A and B are shown apart, each in its own frame.
Chain A
């Protein structure tokens, strides 16, 4: 049993099925889908509220998604902890600045990689809130409810992602 926790990886089918079961518990115990981008929005809202002396909470979007430490915010903290535990227990935790593929194809410059990640992150955060969810909220939780918007969103995530990745790194599957 214990070796399951120390294995470097599981079958993606098995881990995916585990995520499916986890989503059952969220629907029953919390009565909402599992989505990650809301937690990032709450962080932005708390920083804005801190800087503006609370005025940011009057913004219409923060009235819909009230900034604060709640389920969505703690979900993100939990993900960091869970992934740390998993990688640490399997002995593969490692502080890495530039992922190996990026280093090999683009170059090992950490500052450049951080800049690309920051810009990419801004587009991810903006796009996720614009579309009403991310890969977990739309891509998994929404599609499994057969939400039409979620199927369209998931298709758009991958169409655009495949196109831009191909333009950046070459269409390697061709």
Chain B
């Protein structure tokens, strides 16, 4: 099977979605981020587990994805954004994040660990996504395209090659990890 047939085959993709989810859920639980107390601790800035997990994933993921792109076996999928969609939606998400104490992925993981409040949360997330689908025609023609971002990627925005930006991001993440060690957090 070539890569193209794997990507186009619905059954194979369904199986891959399930397997990816099992691995992701396993890793989220082992990382500790399916725990409400850990996530709220991050938002209260008393526990930095969530940031450590996310930045480690970004560091490793970034290096691999750009290497795979150079090798011609992966493509980037960056979408455009705007103040009206990215910022407004992001701020609404953050408020919900603090109330729920989970995000969509970790809420599903928390359900797997037996957290009943996360079950209420996942029902809410589906309802919220459904509300957005209903509001989409109105939002799309009014607010969502307001203040469109000038570029899709940070390298385009800065006018420098992606490899330089990726190197800077990697150095910043590693510096932050070193500071976490120094500060004992």
Contacts and interface: CB of A to CB of B under 8 A. Distances in A.
A152 B92 contact: no
A36 B111 CA distance: 14
Interface string B121-165: 111111111111110110110001000010111111100001001
B7 to A, nearest CB: 5
A127 B14 contact: no
Nearest to A125: B128
Given A86-B30, A120-B97, A153-B86, A41 B133 contact: yes
Interface string A133-174: 011101111111111111111111111111111101101110
Contact size range, A: 35 or more
A47 B92 CA distance: 24
A23, A82, A131 — most chain B CB neighbours (10 Å):
A82
Contacts of A25: 20
Contacts of A19: 24, 27-28, 31, 53, 56-57, 60-61
Q: How large is the interface on B (under 10, 10 to 19, 20 to 34, 35 or more residues)?
A: 35 or more
Contacts of A164: 43, 94-95, 97-99
B30 A168 contact: no
Contacts, number: 545
B27 A18 contact: yes
User: Per DSSP, are chain B's interface residues mostly helix, strand or loop, or mixed?
Assistant: helix
A140 B41 CA distance: 19
A101 B139 CA distance: 37
Interface in A118-132: 118-132
Given A20-B58, A83-B110, A131-B86, A117 B104 contact: no
A60 B137 contact: yes
Contact of B139 (A79, A82, A130): A130
B7 A61 contact: no
12 contacts: A9-B30, A19-B27, A29-B7, A36-B104, A60-B140, A94-B114, A95-B116, A125-B96, A145-B77, A146-B62, A146-B153, A164-B94
